[in-house]
Amino acid sequence: MLVTRLARAKALAVAALHPDAWVIGSDQAALLLDPYQQQRILGKPGDVANCVEQLRSSSGKTVSFLTAVALVRGSPAAEMEFVDTTRVTFRKLDESTIERYVARESPLDCAGGFKGEGLGIALCASIDSDDPTALIGLPLIQLCMLLRRVGFEIP
């Protein structure tokens, strides 16, 4: 899975520089079913036109936000990972709503062109999640479980 590979690669790159440390890597992508029931990956839009198009295609639909986390250590070698899925159902969005949102929030570096922790919440009809922190990019409930498993006292 793309997000798992990216999260692992990020963590391994840092762990190579700090082999005795536990390192956390994370990545997120959004998945949208197209009219032919094929999955379409919505990554970070990068520019306004792509962001508007991603939000237009998400209007009135449910988008699955997949957030992968990798916890790795170089020495002794250890690696754990998981993927959290949060389902966001967008309300029907008209062009002016999308344009206002993109201009005010500038979510060009967010999967699907959407920030649930900001003004993007106004674009939602519902959010289905086991971990409300996952949508902002780091599912802390499951991450804390992994960190406790490897010996961290939290809290």
Percentage with pLDDT > 90 across the chain: 89
Residue 88 lies in a domain: yes
What pLDDT does residue 39 have? Answer: 87
Q: Max Cα separation, the chain?
A: 54
CATH of the domain at 23: 3.90.950.10
pTM of the predicted structure, to 2 decimals: 0.91
Q: What is the mean pLDDT of residues 36-56?
A: 91
- Expressed as residue numbers, the domain containing 46 is 2-149
Residue 69 lies in a domain: yes
Q: How far is it, in rounded angstroms, from Cα 52 to Cα 97?
A: 10
Among the listed residues 20, 27, 94, 130, the single catalytic one is 27
What pLDDT does residue 71 have? Answer: 98
pLDDT, one tens digit per residue, over 100-147 is 999 999 999 999 999 999 999 999 999 999 999 999 989 999 999 999
Residue 53 lies in a domain: yes
When divided into structural domains, the chain yields a total of 1
Question: From its phi and psi, is residue 114 left (phi > 0), alpha (psi between -120 and 50) or beta?
Answer: beta
Residue 63 lies in a domain: yes
Residue 154 lies in a domain: no
Residue 155 lies in a domain: no
Residue 65 lies in a domain: yes
The candidate with the shortest Cα–Cα distance to 136, out of 65, 73, 79, is 65
Active-site residue, 109 included: no
Residue 113 is encoded by which pair of tokens? 């062109």
Residue 59 lies in a domain: yes
